[in-house]
Each structure stands twice: as structure tokens, then as C-alpha cells.
Structure 1
């Protein structure tokens, strides 16, 4: 039963998690807009979502074994990845800067806003899914 519930919500859960990670990356780009030699980063959302869905295809969650209670459960990740292994890509240079910074504030603000709107849409979709489940449980229409 719980496996079917997980499968029912898997897509929107994975999409929201990736949208949240992408929002943090975009916010970091905006925050470093004046940092010399900072290179703007982003996530390839489509391939990251496909990878997340492929990984979560089974109902067994991936857990790490630790040898002591104080060990961190997450593995060390490379500098070019998020904690879940999603690769961070460099954004193409739209207009170069003298200080080597590749952040274009117009692009970043647009991407940030677009991602925020899509995140809200994902929340709306999960709310609709939960309402449908509640209606089915309660026998409503």
C-alpha cells in the first residue's frame, strides 16, 4: 500500500526536490553577481529529473551504512555536484565581464522567477493529488 502511495507521488516529489535545489543554485549565482571570477552554475533539470526517477524506480530507498553513530550518512560529493549527485553545470557566457564573472543578472532573475513559478505549480499538483486521495478514502466525488 505504501509503495503504491510512493509511486503515485514520486514524480512530483522528485520534481519539487530538484526545483528546490535549482533555486538554491540560482540564488547563489545572484548572490555572487559581483564576485570576481565567479562562474554561474545551473542544473540540467530534465536530465536530473530523469535520473532521479530512474534511481527511485525501485521501492527500496538508497541508504548508506556507517560504522559509528557520529558518522555523516551522506557521501562526500565532488565540487561539481549537489548532495544527491545532481551535476552542476556552468552557464554559458552571455556577456563577458572584465573581472571574469559570468553572472548575467537578467538571465539569473528570469531563471529564478521561472523556477519559482514552476515550484508553485508543483505544490499545486501535489495538493491536487492529495485531495483526490482524500476524496477516494472518504468516498466523495
Structure 2
């Protein structure tokens, strides 16, 4: 199966939107005792998203999981707001890049499909 640029960048935006929702949830619960930050690995989620028939291992790897490398506070919360803001910024840059590419590519396609106004 060949993946077109619309499918690919649509998948990029889908995965980035899932990450944005998880990051926003982490930030919203940064003061909740016992809350554990969640995230999805972007590369594994993209692989599962683009696979023609994803297997169970790919789906499990792309599911949200707890971060294991963050420092846990005394109340059991491991959300670091500064780290979450960095993750949100990185994710936002990925989304901006994908939307810019999609906008320009679709504009180029529309231009190519228009009849030639000069008639030649």
C-alpha cells in the first residue's frame, strides 16, 4: 500500500492531536496528588497509524503509557510543568509544520487542476 501525502500528514496531525490532549491533561493535573503523567511515543503511534493492518504489538506500543523517567514528588505526582510545556511546544511545532505543508500542497494541487486561463 502506498501512502499519499494527505494520508501521511493527516496521520501526523491525528497523533499530534492525541499527544496534545494527553499533555494538556498532564498540565491540568499537575497539582493532583498521585497523578502520573501519560504520553504516547510519536514514532510508534505513527507506525501503527500508517500500517495497513496493524498488529496487536503495534497497537499496544502506540497506546498511552506512563512516563517512567520523571521525578516523583512527595505527594506521588510526577508531572513536571516545565517539561510538559516543552513537550507541548515540540508537539505544536510538529503540528504547524504538517499544516503548513498540507496547506501549500493542496493549494498547489488546486492551481494545477485549474484550466489554463490563457487557453494555451
Cα deviations by residue, 1:91-124 (Å, 9 ceiling, x for unpaired): 1243220011010111101001111121111110
Measure how far apart 1:45 and its partner are. 0.6
SS in 2 for 1:101: coil
SS in 2 for 1:121: helix
CA distance in 2, matches of 1:88, 1:100: 19
Equivalent residue pairs, number = 110
Structure 2 gap segments, 5+ residues each: none
Cα deviations by residue, 1:6-63 (Å, 9 ceiling, x for unpaired): 8341000000011011100000000000001100000111011011111379xxxxxx
Residue 53 of structure 1 aligns with which residue?
Answer: 50
Residue 39 of structure 2 aligns with which residue?
Answer: 42
Residue pairs, 1:1-141, within 5 angstroms: 7-55=4-52, 86-138=62-114
CA distance in 2, matches of 1:16, 1:27: 16
Structure 1 gap segments, 5+ residues each: 58-80
SS in 2 for 1:51: helix
Consecutive aligned runs of 4 or more in structure 1 exceeding 4 Å deviation:
none
